[in-house]
Amino acid sequence: MPDSSISKFFEKSRKERLDTVANFANLSNDDLSVLENDCGGILFEQADKMVENAIGTFSLPLGIATNFRINGKDYLIPMVIEEPSVIAAASKGAKIARIKGGFEVSADESYSIGQIQVLDVDVKSASEQINSSSKEILELANSKSNTLSKMNKGAKDVYCKELDTPSGKMLIVELLIDVGDAMGANVTNTMCESVAPLIEQITGGRVLLRILSNYSTRRMVKAKAVFEKESVGGEQVVDNVILAYEFADNDVYRAVTHNKGIMNGTIAVANAVGQDSRAIEAAANAYAASSGMYRSLSKWSKDENGNLVGILEIPLSVGIVGGIANVHPIAKICTKILGVSSAKELACVMTATGLAQNYSAIRALATEGIQKGHMRLHARNLASAAGANSEQIDEIVKKMIRDNNISLNKAKELLERS
């Protein structure tokens, strides 16, 4: 079985890193050529087909997080993010979790929720009519996707809810759709639009909106890991991490930053494999506020042996078929590096990465502070911004760290002296 615990991966040259990843994921020479191409994976001609009014492309760094063991399987995790320290932190968190077996993650089936807004009806009576016609509605919805129907997936249930708004009462008809390994937005929207005329006919009302909900509460993912007490830093550090979590869980200002750290991990993987990061973050933030107060997405405690235990549960709608994931060359290769065979497996990997990142961030905050490690990595960006070339950067970084002054002005000063 491939081993994701790679010693000093960060010290290897680019070629050595690529060779390591290629051997781990059985990448082809064509795959390596795409990764080695510094255009970011797509040419303008491709970008022009993806969005309107295209004028160019925009690249972000693609890195690899190591040490991950999830449900007994090793992964190298591709991450696309511009922020320094995130990939290193995720790798460090995974390394500590690995001591106790890694991450245990479970995911719901891939159910998407579609919503049809019905106006100008008696909600109670219309709901009864919808419920009695649910079989007909489901049959019509499923007729719009032969692929899902052949896989015994597709629309599975219809239910109703009442909203009391300033404009009056509304009936919301919801479709529950098993979308398999797709994110499911297109098929969900298609089914909602297809059944809208039938729902108008059944209820005598007027349908307005017909669209999926990105609040994917029927696609929950739960990750858990045990972090050995001694490796965390001892009993006092474990207790401090828990106190830091309790701060986040009870103060919205802290919770937002705490959850942003979780998303640093989860969204960096989403970016790498072509997922809808805006939908993922919107759903996670809604879930963080589901109790009526915006709180920590993760939970931290200790077990009977004093080890630190982290749990992260989030709604997560992802796919490995359809969408940009099957169009963008880099996204396709990153999915190949991950080696995931289902949307559920991808969701498990992304949630584990979020938990690993959260561990490293909250431990750093509870000990030395976040800036020490972050600013050391940020020093390279500052040296580059000051105008240093590739041969000068390492020396300037060493001197900034030596002088305990990591700033753009210091980088410029050192560059002028060199």
Q: What is the pLDDT of residue 323?
A: 80
For residue 289, give every residue at least 6 positions away whose Cβ sits within 8 Å of its Cβ, in sequence order, or none.
295
244: tokens are 């830091």
CATH code for the structural domain at 372-417 = 1.10.8.660
410: tokens are 């210091």
Residue 345 falls in the annotated catalytic set? no
Residue 260 falls in the annotated catalytic set? yes
pLDDT digits (tens, 9 = 90+) for 281-322: 999 999 999 999 999 999 999 999 999 999 999 999 999 998
Q: What is the pLDDT of residue 318?
A: 97
Q: What is the pLDDT of residue 4?
A: 94
Domain spanning 9-106+231-369: which CATH class is it, in words?
Answer: alpha beta
Q: What is the pLDDT of residue 41?
A: 79
Q: What is the pLDDT of residue 369?
A: 60
Task: Count the alpha carbons within 13 Å of 107 in the hemisphere toward its beta carbon.
Answer: 25
Which is catalytic among the residues 276, 328, 399, 410? 276
318: tokens are 């992802």
Which is catalytic among the residues 344, 374, 399, 410? 374
Which is catalytic among the residues 12, 19, 73, 83? 83
Residue 374 falls in the annotated catalytic set? yes
Domain ranges of the chain: 9-106+231-369, 111-213, 372-417
Q: What is the pLDDT of residue 374?
A: 59
**Single pTM value for the model:** 0.90
Instruction: Please name the fold of domain 111-213.
Output: Alpha-Beta Plaits (3.30.70)
311 contacts 228 by C-beta, under 8 angstroms: no
34 contacts 41 by C-beta, under 8 angstroms: yes
Cα separation values, 360 from 1, 66, 87, 90, 368, Å = 27, 14, 10, 7, 12
Residue 276 falls in the annotated catalytic set? yes
24: phi > 0 → left, psi -120 to 50 → alpha, else beta; which? Answer: alpha
- Each of the 418 residues of the chain gets a pLDDT tens digit; together they read 789 999 889 889 999 999 999 999 999 999 999 999 877 778 888 889 888 999 998 889 999 999 999 999 999 999 999 998 899 999 999 999 999 999 999 999 999 999 999 999 999 999 999 999 999 999 999 999 988 988 999 999 999 999 999 999 999 999 999 999 999 999 999 999 999 999 999 999 999 999 999 999 999 999 999 999 999 999 999 999 999 999 999 999 999 999 999 999 999 999 999 999 999 999 999 999 999 999 999 999 999 999 999 999 999 999 999 888 788 999 999 999 999 999 999 999 999 999 999 999 999 999 876 556 556 667 777 888 888 887 788 788 888 888 888 888 888 888 888 7
